[in-house]
């Protein structure tokens, strides 16, 4: 049975974090002063097994989920991840199986992921300048390593590849046009993401947000664009094509132009908690049910009760008090 929440939004998209660990320390996601060498990550025993994840996906598809995205942390640090991909590939109802990665391990993982059944991939890349990119990932990882991963993914057939750039004023906003120029004509889709107040550790400030309108204006000043219709209900990126036929870009404007009213996403953390909003302060524990012998009907009823009561629309009603309140970290639910 398909589900609708209190705003009549269906459940269509499930983002699954397979690990809370990451080999980067991006300043807007896992700042090193919080996630340092002494930070305690989840022990393996507390993380959902591949079998547990697959069981939940089977149940979620029965309630409307069609798209599954694997996230982290950095999902490619999870050992044997391609085995999970192969398990999810065979779940009836999963029409779109994709993954978001920082690209650092993609060069050696891309072909195995494709052979396991992964359809598409999204790669995070915030600048083409090594000094800026290294400062943002905070582990001295070079741009070339990510670009090699993107090339390997393209060669493996994981396409179209989406490239995500989180734009922060005074940090990497000077690279907007360079990024657009580089990926034009490649067949890849560059997406610019407004810097969001996810979690409580990244020191978010509104003045650091470069709005969708400003991003668009900077690009259109050099490369004329035209709006492209959404591909499906609830698509978060506004799409634009280059008038000269060199491809398209997307802009995700959660801060300046919220899209809560069409949100169809749920997020499952690595330890099995379901979050019905990216900005939620707490999740709902599916792992406890799984490991206490709950039946499929028990799990389905729990999901129904959560989604039917869902009223989240954080970005549409964002206030100073809400922004300051504790929220789940992006690295915990994969953005």
Is 236 within 8 Å of 191 (Cβ atoms)? no
Separation CA 172–CA 192 (nearest Å) = 11
pLDDT tens figures, 11-34: 999 999 999 999 999 988 888 988
Q: For tokens 């499952």, what's the residue?
A: 268
For residue 271, give every residue at least 6 positions away whose Cβ sits within 8 Å of its Cβ, in sequence order, or none.
20, 42, 46, 47, 48, 287
Separation CA 6–CA 64 (nearest Å) = 16
- CA neighbor of 99 nearest in space, from 222, 16, 198: 16
Q: For tokens 């035209």, what's the residue?
A: 226
| Global confidence as pTM | 0.93
pLDDT tens figures, 219-260: 999 999 999 998 877 778 999 999 999 999 999 988 888 778
Tell me the two tokens of residue 188. Answer: 């890849």
Domain 13-333 has CATH 3.40.50.620: no
pLDDT tens figures, 260-307: 889 999 999 999 999 998 888 889 999 999 999 999 999 999 999 999
Tell me the two tokens of residue 297. Answer: 């009907």
The CB-side HSE value for 74 (13 A sphere, CA atoms) comes to 18
């Amino acid at each position: 049975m398909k589900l609708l929440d209190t705003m009549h939004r269906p459940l269509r998209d499930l983002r699954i974090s397979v690990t809370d660990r990451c080999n980067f320390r991006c300043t807007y996601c896992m700042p090193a002063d919080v996630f340092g060498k002494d930070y305690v990550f989840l022990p393996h025993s507390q993380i959902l097994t591949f079998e547990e994840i697959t069981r939940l996906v089977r149940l979620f598809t029965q309630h409307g989920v069609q798209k599954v995205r694997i996230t982290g942390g950095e999902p490619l640090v999870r050992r044997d991840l391609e085995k999970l991909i192969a398990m999810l590939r065979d779940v009836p109802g999963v029409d779109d199986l994709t993954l978001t990665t920082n690209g650092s391990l993609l060069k050696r993982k891309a072909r195995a992921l494709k052979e396991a059944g992964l359809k598409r991939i999204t790669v995070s890349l915030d600048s083409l300048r090594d000094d800026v990119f290294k400062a943002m990932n905070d582990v001295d990882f070079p741009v070339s390593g990510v670009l090699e991963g993107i090339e390997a993914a393209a060669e493996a057939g994981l396409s179209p590849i989406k490239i995500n750039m989180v734009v922060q004023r005074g940090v990497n906003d000077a690279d907007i046009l360079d990024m657009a120029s580089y990926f034009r004509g490649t067949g890849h889709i560059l997406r610019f993401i407004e810097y969001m107040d996810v979690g409580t550790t990244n020191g978010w400030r509104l003045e650091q947000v470069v709005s969708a309108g400003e991003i668009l204006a900077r690009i259109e000043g050099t490369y004329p664009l035209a709006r492209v219709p959404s591909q499906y209900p609830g698509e978060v990126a506004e799409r634009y094509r280059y008038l000269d036929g060199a491809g398209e870009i997307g802009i995700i404007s959660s801060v300046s132009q919220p899209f809560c009213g069409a949100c169809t996403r749920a997020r499952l953390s690595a330890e099995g908690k379901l979050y019905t909003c990216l900005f939620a302060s707490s999740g709902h524990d599916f792992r406890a049910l799984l490991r206490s012998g709950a039946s499929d009907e028990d799990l389905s009823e729990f999901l129904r009760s959560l989604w039917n009561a869902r009223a989240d629309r954080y970005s549409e009603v964002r206030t100073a008090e809400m922004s300051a309140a504790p929220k789940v970290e992006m690295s915990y639910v994969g953005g």
